[in-house]
Amino acid sequence: MSYVTEEYDVCVVGAGHAGCEAALASARLGLNTIIFTVSVESIALMPCNPNIGGSSKGHLVREIDALGGQMGINIDAAFIQSKMLNVSKGPAVHSLRAQADKAKYTSLMRQTLENTEHLTIRQAEVTELIVENGEIKGVKTFSGASYHAKAVVLCTGTYLKSRCLYGDVINHTGPNGLQSADYLSDSLKENGVELFRFKTGTPARIDRRSVDFDKMEEQKGDEPVVPFSFTTNPQQVQIEQVSCWLTYTNTKTHEIIRKNLDRSPLYSGMIEGTGPRYCPSIEDKVVKFCDKERHQVFIEPEGLYTNEMYVGGMSSSLPEDVQYEMYRSVAGLEHVKIVRNAYAIEYDCINPRQLYPSLEFKKIKGLFSGGQFNGSSGYEEAAAQGLVAGINAAMFVKGKEPLVLDRSTSYIGVLIDDLVTKDNHEPYRMMTSRAEYRLLLRQDNADLRLSKIGYEAGLIAKERYDWVVEKERLIEREIERIQHVRIGANADVQALLERQNSTPLKTGTTLAELIRRPELSYELLKEIDADRPELPEDVKEQVNINVKYDGYIKRQLKQVKEFKKLENKKLPEHFDYNQVKSLRIEAKQKLNLCQPINVGQASRISGVSPADISVLLVYLEQMRQKR
């Protein structure tokens, strides 16, 4: 029996949100790349919520775009509604979210993959890793074929030994009834990889024609629409948008759920996997927040050419008959027809502490991974990791230094650092509260923060990078100018201040000082700023934010300076921390397990105290003096 054998530079296992970004990055960096999926139709499938972005996730999408990834461009071409969230709050938490036409999102991403040079798509189940002397050599598929590669990126999502459950129904499939991948987990274990069993869930899909929208609140999109990608011309995304609808559960819904909790696999113990705390099922909400009389339910279209609608906020694994009862107890869904049942899915993923911040496995050279397989949850979290893993697989093949983004550069840096450093025993979901430097890591300045890195990695074209450099120059020059524009307490100024309910001036001040007043802004003051140059909207936005929050930004930059001091203190690889005698036992154990790359990462490991860090710093200094 002879088997097919093929040679590639990089092999990506999985064509979900992580795998697509990884494969595109590797192929766009000129490497001969193959991407595997169990079903070509499921490329960039959205098996859960029909939207991209949202709080902190919008930041990730902008950062992926600034580094040269695809998700932002893809959603700008496939969205059907768009909203900027949290606009009543500060710019650090403003977050874009777009409803996607799921079918269009998938087909556009597939087209992009199919038309990318150096990229081969293969529908086949990868069943085994080929590892020699601790180094990856390729993968084997169910048919016995071997695909040799210098680097492999695992992005298997929710498919490894997956099973879908509702009530006492168990389907040994992946999402949406797709084939599960049942062999690779065993090969991973044989190669010493530690696996976790995680779970997530999704709500039912219902038929739009059976919904009474008169009993719901219409949720319209924003006008004008702001695109995700910095490369998208805003004029091109001003489309006619569809609406989402808001309704609520009620005490009857909660009663139905409580009455049937024993039939929920979540509460009967049938589900072994650990679920995401921040994406609870409706059962969990009713049990954990029993004082709440109602929970929000968002009815969201799945696309323009389907009547299917997503029941956001009511994911569940209750039996089918209970699902009908519970959904039909909600206002507007009294006669609802279910197209697809709600269900929970369990799957294998890894303990991400086995990875370096480059997303390479510590124990298997050349093996990288990204996405839900790394213990995260969400399309955006997956795509962000896939992009970094794909870039670093390419860097590995090219013998170049890996890209490592630290917590002060990006939400991607926070995401990866939290995954590979902290003790995560449930699916990790990004939130703005996780980013300590969030005033610097806004979604509006992702291009200014990361385009240089994307350009140096080879994923951002020179022309695009040159515009970012020019944009930076325009921002700095305009900030410099308005710092020196004197504004007198004349009648026009006083009149404007009065109109804006702002305190009248007693003496002259600068334009910058006025902008810092909460009720004023760069835009509002244009009528008293005679010499104002014509500037692009995104430059004006940066001028306004940087002047308005100048003090806070400066303070956070100071904190980053301190943070960098420990980040730049490198630690030896594969080091035995038992050699540092005065370290506490728990710290020795945790450091040996995690093998942090620098003192900063060591300081974030739970169980390593500030006192341990001081001991480590003294030890490093002694080692340096001995050299």
Ligand X SMILES: Cc1cc2nc3c(=O)[nH]c(=O)nc-3n(C[C@H](O)[C@H](O)[C@H](O)COP(=O)(O)OP(=O)(O)OC[C@H]3O[C@@H](n4cnc5c(N)ncnc54)[C@H](O)[C@@H]3O)c2cc1C
- CB-CB contact of 590 with 605 (8 Å): yes
Q: How far apart are the first and last CA of the chain?
A: 58
CA distances to 113, 393, 568, 627 from 351, in Å = 29, 20, 26, 36
x/- site string to ligand X, residues 512 to 541, per CB under 6 A? ------------------------------
Q: What three-state secondary structure class fits 269?
A: coil
CA distances to 68, 511, 513 from 531, in Å = 36, 12, 17
| CB nearer ligand X, residue 55 or residue 589 | 55
| CB nearer ligand X, residue 13 or residue 580 | 13
Could you give phi then psi for residue 134, rounded to 5 degrees?
75, 10
Could you identify the residue written with the tokens 């193959």? 34
Pick the binder of ligand X from 32, 323, 377, 601 (CB under 6 A): 377
Tokens of residue 422, six digits: 């902290």
Could you give phi then psi for residue 128, rounded to 5 degrees?
-155, 145
Q: Is 125 in the site for ligand X (CB under 6 A)?
A: yes
Q: Which of residues 139-178 bind ligand X (CB under 6 A)?
A: 155-160, 175
| CB nearer ligand X, residue 155 or residue 608 | 155
Q: What three-state secondary structure class fits 297?
A: strand
Q: Rounded CA gap, 353 and 351, in Å? A: 5
Q: Is 311 in the site for ligand X (CB under 6 A)?
A: no
Q: Which of residues 8-27 bind ligand X (CB under 6 A)?
A: 13-19
Q: Is 181 in the site for ligand X (CB under 6 A)?
A: yes
With a CB cutoff of 8 Å and minimum separation 6, the contacts of 505 are: 487, 488, 489, 493, 494, 497
Tokens of residue 538, six digits: 């995104």
Q: Rounded CA gap, 33 and 113, in Å? A: 11
CA-nearest of 187, 163, 183 to 175 is 163
Q: Is 389 in the site for ligand X (CB under 6 A)?
A: no
Which part of the chain contacts ligand X (CB under 6 A), choosing from 44-52, 101-109, 208-216, 570-578?
44-52
Q: Which of residues 186-245 bind ligand X (CB under 6 A)?
A: 200-202
The string of DSSP letters for 257-315 reads: HHHTGGGSHHHHT---SBPPTTS--HHHHHHHTTT-S--EEEEEE--TT--EEEEET--
| CB nearer ligand X, residue 392 or residue 521 | 392
Q: What three-state secondary structure class fits 401?
A: coil
With a CB cutoff of 8 Å and minimum separation 6, the contacts of 255 are: none
| CB nearer ligand X, residue 205 or residue 442 | 205
Least distance in angstroms from the C-beta of 44 to ligand X = 8
Pick the binder of ligand X from 126, 359, 453, 474 (CB under 6 A): 126
- CB-CB contact of 441 with 556 (8 Å): no
Q: What three-state secondary structure class fits 97?
A: strand
Q: Is 350 in the site for ligand X (CB under 6 A)?
A: no
Pick the binder of ligand X from 378, 413, 454, 600 (CB under 6 A): 378
Which part of the chain contacts ligand X (CB under 6 A), choosing from 31-39, 252-260, 331-339, 525-533?
31-39
Least distance in angstroms from the C-beta of 184 to ligand X = 4
x/- site string to ligand X, residues 273 to 302, per CB under 6 A? ------x-----------------------
Q: Is 336 in the site for ligand X (CB under 6 A)?
A: no
Tokens of residue 98, six digits: 């777009």
Pick the binder of ligand X from 206, 382, 459, 547 (CB under 6 A): 382
Which part of the chain contacts ligand X (CB under 6 A), choosing from 32-40, 104-112, 232-240, 540-548?
32-40
Residues in the interface with ligand X (CB under 6 A) total: 40
Which part of the chain contacts ligand X (CB under 6 A), choosing from 365-373, 448-456, 512-520, 579-587?
365-373
Q: Is 379 in the site for ligand X (CB under 6 A)?
A: yes
Q: Rounded CA gap, 523 and 517, in Å? A: 13
Which positions lie near ligand X, rule CB under 6 A?
13-19, 36-39, 42, 45, 47-48, 125-126, 155-160, 175, 181, 184, 200-202, 279, 315, 345, 371-373, 377-379, 382, 429
